[in-house]
Amino acid sequence: NAGVTQTPKFQVLKTGQSMTLQCAQDMNHNSMYWYRQDPGMGLRLIYYSASEGTTDKGEVPNGYNVSRLNKREFSLRLESAAPSQTSVYFCASTLGRLSYEQYFGPGTRLTVT
Amino acid sequence: GQQLNQSPQSMFIQEGEDVSMNCTSSSIFNTWLWYKQDPGEGPVLLIALYKAGELTSNGRLTAQFGITRKDSFLNISASIPSDVGIYFCAGTNTGNQFYFGTGTSLTVIP
């Protein structure tokens, strides 16, 4: 039981490049989330998916897109990376249905130059 | 977005001491959660609170859901070196949007 896994662990992009961050969970959770964490700040929600087939914007969605590929997988795409998107990205999941214990992946450290 | 204020921002304590930290919000929440994050790792859930006034323990950790639903408290008893890390609070109402505090950094001096 791996919990929440994320790939890659580290990534360096040039401004304007695109990439997709992958996330998968094996806990049969219904809801999945993408956060970014910047120094001195807490985690901020980018997008979430309350169930397979649905996605919604969080607090800071600009510059990102997401896909809930199936119940297990939730990907985050940067179409044209900007230096302001340099951050650590975390994927998380919850069972949902009034159970809000949220479990996090190990994170992806992204640097945009 | 909603702001969650955590205090203190950082703490330096001697091993064996008790620790208290708190989190306040301008809005009410139905659920409060506490996490610990080690360097280079993702946050790990410590305690989830679902009812105003609730007091829940997890080993040496005890958390309380404030009666106003706008605050929560975390206590760590008899601290040990492995308690070092950053502690985050989070609140949610529907399980869709979670709002996090800026963290309390804990250093335990052996």
DSSP string for chain A = ---EEEE-SEEEE-TT--EEEEEEE-S--SEEEEEEE-TTS-EEEEEEESSTT--EE-S--TT-EEEE-SSSBEEEEESS--GGG-EEEEEEEE-BTTB---EE---EEEEE-
Q: What is the pLDDT of residue A39?
A: 84
Whole-number Å distance between alpha carbons of A55 and B30: 22
Category of B78 on φ-ψ map: left (φ > 0), alpha (ψ -120 to 50) or beta: left
Percentage of chain A surpassing pLDDT 70? 99
Q: What angle do CA B73, B76, B80 make, to 5 degrees?
A: 155
Q: What is the pLDDT of residue A42?
A: 82
Interface test with A, best of B23, B96, B97 (most A CBs within 10 A): B96
Whether B23 shows a pLDDT value over 70: the answer reads yes
Whether A74 shows a pLDDT value over 80: the answer reads yes
Q: What is the pLDDT of residue A97?
A: 76
B95 interface with A at CB cutoff 8 Å: yes
Closest CB to B100: pick one of A43, A103, A107: A43
* Chain A residues close to B92, C-beta within 8 Å: 100
Cβ within 8 Å, pair A42-B44:
no
Whole-number Å distance between alpha carbons of A112 and B66: 41
B85 interface with A at CB cutoff 8 Å: no
Structure tokens at A1: 């039981």
Interface test with B, best of A9, A43, A101 (most B CBs within 10 A): A43
Whether A1 shows a pLDDT value over 80: the answer reads no
A48: nearest Cα among A28, A27, A23: A23
Closest CB to B33: pick one of A41, A98, A102: A102
Percentage of chain B surpassing pLDDT 90? 91
- Shortest CA distance from A31: residue in chain B: B96
| Mean pLDDT, range A53-75, rounded to an integer | 95
B61-90 pLDDT tens trace: 999 999 999 999 999 999 999 999 999 999
